[in-house]
Each structure stands twice: as structure tokens, then as C-alpha cells.
Amino acid sequence: MVSKNQIIISSENSSHTNFIELSNYLDLLFFMVLRDLKVLYKQTILGFSWAFIRPFITMVIFTFIFGNLAKIPSDNIPYPVFSFSALLPWLYFSSSLSKSTQSIIGGRQMYTKVYFPRIIIPLTSVLSSLVDFFISITILIAMFFYFKIMPSSDILWFPILVIVMIVNAAGFSFWISSLSVQYRDVKHAINFLNQMLMYAAPVVWPISLLQEKFGEQFVQWYSLYPMVGIIEGFRSCLIPSHPFPIKLVLISSFSSLIIFISGFYFFSSKEKHFADIS
């Protein structure tokens, strides 16, 4: 006879088995991503159109303020294309962080009743944000036609950059979602943190400004901030006049991997306490 109350005790190597377990829960991950999208756009008049509206309006504002008023250089690239090619990865990163902040707390009713790898919860936020990312690409394609821009062979780097972008967002999400369970200040600080991280990245200004003022070595150290190599890589693989910054991309890829691995182990070390704290 099965007792009513059962306690599930994680093994000592649970941080290692999560990746193996995850392959057995891909169907659950898929349905959680689908549910996340339905909840996000449920009872909205414009629905998935918000995936177009948000990046487009942001691009228009940036073009007016930074391109027209502040006259920030854009490396001889039309400023709308210059800013939008950076907004694509940035808005994905920002959205992933915002969603993952409350993901563990919001999913308490599920993971306290049913066992599944808890890492799926922040991963759901990361993967569901990809839908908006790929929808927004259609705006950039339309801009390429308007400005008569033809991507070069560097466009082959695009899938690799998308993977690095996902790894980086997942790593940050593991950290943020874990910390937000114990420290509720995180949900209040996330909007400020997003703004600070955006202006610290070369979204509205070209990285050539730093190269001219501080030199190439400084820029390489600066690219330890993962969004630097990701943003510059996206610009370069999409815009032919931009040489592909292989060093910056490799450095940012390395730091993204470090953030992912450390975030994964930090999440795994904290997940056994989620039900008690949340």
C-alpha cells in the first residue's frame, strides 16, 4: 500500500543527472513553453503583433533620440538597421531575464506536487522568448529590402550566434531565478538591472568608439560581458560592411559558457530548498 505522503530525496549527483533527465522531459518542456506563450498573449487584442510592435517602437525611439538628436555614429550604417540588429539579441536577453525572475515562485504549485527537473522552469522562459525573437527578424528583413542591404557570407555565423545567445540567457536565468526565490529584492531590481546592462552594451552606440579611445585590448576585456560579442556578431553577420569580430565572439562565447555552467550548478545546489523558501 502506497502512503499518502512521499518525500523525494535528490541524489548527491543531482546536478549531473539533470541533463540526462532533461532528455526524458522534452515533451513537458515543449508544453510548458506552449503554455507560457498562450498565457503571455491570452486576452490581448493584438496578440502576437506585440512581438513586432515592441522592437519596432524601440527602434524608432532610438533612431530619433540617438541617431537624429544625439548624432551618435553608426559606422556608416543606416541607424535604424544599426540599432535594430542590436535590439534583436538584446530584447531576447532582456525578456528571458524578466520572465525567469518570477518563474520559480510562480511555478510553486507545480513543482511541489509533481516531480520533474526544476531546471525546466527557467528554461521555459528562455525558450518561449525565442518566438518573439524570430518573429522580430521579419522586421529586419523588411528593413534590408528598404535600405537595399544584402548580407554577406558571414550570415553563416547566425545559427552559432543564436546558440551562444541562448546559452548566455539560460545561464543568467539560472542565476536570477535561483536568487529571486531567496531574495525578493531581485524582482524589484530586475528592470533597473536590464536598463543598466543595456547601456553597458553596444546597442545604441558602435564599439568602434571604445576602440578609438581605449584600444583593441580594452575592447577584448570588455567583451567578457557576453552581450558585447553577441551584439557585435549579429551586426557583422547581418550587415556586410561590418567585418566579423571573431575574437570578440569567441571571448563572449567563453564567458557565456562560464555563466551557463556556474548558473546551472548554483541552481542545482539551491533547488532542493525552493519548496521551503517560496
**Residue 108 — very low, low, confident or very high, per pLDDT cuts 50/70/90?**
low
Q: CB–CB of 155/235 below 8 Å? A: no
Give every CB contact of residue 232 below 8 A, 6+ residues apart in sequence: 202, 207, 223, 245, 248, 249
Per-residue pLDDT at 277 exceeds 80? no
pLDDT at 191: 82
Kindly calculate the radius of gyration of the chain based on its CA atoms and give it in whole angstroms: 20
Over residues 110-124, mean pLDDT: 79
CA 274/CA 55 separation, integer angstroms: 34
CA 88/CA 136 separation, integer angstroms: 7
CA 163/CA 6 separation, integer angstroms: 39
Over residues 45-54, mean pLDDT: 73
Question: For the segment 11-21, what is each residue's pLDDT rounded down to a tens digit?
Answer: 444 444 466 77
Lowest mean pLDDT among 42-51, 53-62, 160-169, 194-203: 42-51
Alpha-carbon 232 to chain mean position? 15
CA 236/CA 244 separation, integer angstroms: 5
What are the residue ranges spanned by the domains of the chain? 25-35+48-277
Amino acid at 89: P
pLDDT at 239: 85
Lowest mean pLDDT among 98-112, 127-141, 230-244: 98-112
What does the DSSP 8-state code read for residue 118?
Answer: T
Of the two residues 64 and 28, the one the predictor is more confident about is: 64
Per-residue pLDDT at 63 exceeds 60? yes
